[in-house]
Amino acid sequence: MRYTIHLIIAAIALVATSCGPSGEEVNVYSGRHYRTDEALFAEFTQQTGIRVNLIKANSDQLINRLQMEGERSPADLIITADAGRLILAREMGLLQPFESQKIKEIVPSHYRDDQDFWTGFTKRARVIVYHKERVNPSELDSYEQLADPKWNGRILVRSSQNHYNQTLMASILAALGTDSATQWGHKLVANMAQTPRGNDRDQVKAIAAGVGDIAIVNTYYIGLLVNSSNAEEREVAAQVGIHFPNQNGRGTHVNISGVGIAANARNYENANKLIEFLLENRAQSLFAEENFEYPVNPNIEWPALLNDWGTFKADTLPLHKLGQHLHQAMVIFNTVGWE
């Protein structure tokens, strides 16, 4: 991807009035775009006196920027909304391991890199969303079952260029192997209600509009619709239900928002401190309450909406193992015509 400097040149300094005179700072490249994150960065500054300098863009642009900057990069941390981008950043030599025992104690091992180059700090389940009147949830089972001809012209999903779908396909490759995953992809494409377009919220809106009956969606997008200030979006959310696939097998695919320390970080200790802060009870609860993401800290109580969706069995295949399948996932997308 060509480096687009105009999209990522602006840096936002989140400086609290209590920031001490020491000039302590941590420079964050983030692919997330949430007010919750910025509020937490401001709290971190208040508590520690460490200023957070934030640059936001999409993850691929940030990874490209890190690569181009090389040893001159000011980045201390890179945050992405997908494990696959962190896996790529590690493979490119853009990350270094963290040295925090606290991180290892809080985050289950399958949501961390096996050599501590990155860790998740929130989770998103990739689920099947269905129209409550046109689909009986008893008809739904697994991701694999979406290949059934009964779903012909009824499935909605976003582009294969979307990182969430790439990591989902990598998980299916890990579970089924190349031949079966390719066959599944062919049949899923045949069952699509339309050419992939839009984001996850758009897939749910297309269900409400009658374009299709089911969609593959990240859970937190449903939370955004349920709590939208737009009455039409809340009405869309009221028309759909959530099904967690593969509960009788490996479990529902779960992706992460994660963070890694940049290879040339100049503020290494401050970077470790910020990661630890994002895993503390206050931050983990806020991610769940305000962003409708699942906490990676297993001891955090879920808010009402997440509890309403119900508990579920998650796929515990270590996310770092999906890296070996990401290239083949893209080959399959091209082979089956998933645009």
The 10s digit of each residue's pLDDT in 257-279 is: 999 999 999 999 999 999 999 99
Across the range 48-74, mean pLDDT stands at 97
Across the range 86-101, mean pLDDT stands at 96
Residue whose structure tokens are 């001159």:
72
Same domain, 19 and 160: no
Reading phi first (left if > 0) and then psi (alpha if -120 to 50, else beta), residue 86 is in alpha
Q: What are the φ/ψ torsions at residue 119 (nearest 5 degrees)? A: -145, 150
Whole-angstrom CA distances from 238 to 132, 225, 242, 281, 306 are 9, 9, 11, 30, 15
Same domain, 96 and 165: no
Same domain, 242 and 111: no
pLDDT of 133 over the 60 cut: yes
Same domain, 110 and 9: yes
Q: What is the CATH number of the domain that holds 290?
A: 3.40.190.10
Across the range 239-252, mean pLDDT stands at 98
15-24, 39-48, 233-242: the lowest-pLDDT one: 15-24
Across the range 221-239, mean pLDDT stands at 97
Same domain, 130 and 247: yes
Stated pTM of the model: 0.91
Same domain, 188 and 324: yes
Q: How many structural domains are present in the chain?
A: 2
Same domain, 247 and 269: no
Q: Where does the pLDDT of residue 23 fall: very low under 50, low under 70, confident under 90, or very high at 90 and above?
A: confident
Is residue 305, in this structure, part of any structural domain at all? Answer: no
Question: Which residue range(s) make up the domain with 91?
Answer: 5-123+255-300
Across the range 94-107, mean pLDDT stands at 96
Same domain, 204 and 291: no
Same domain, 42 and 175: no
% of residues, the chain, pLDDT over 70: 94
Is residue 315, in this structure, part of any structural domain at all? Answer: no
Same domain, 93 and 198: no
Same domain, 178 and 262: no
Same domain, 132 and 243: yes
Is residue 71, in this structure, part of any structural domain at all? Answer: yes
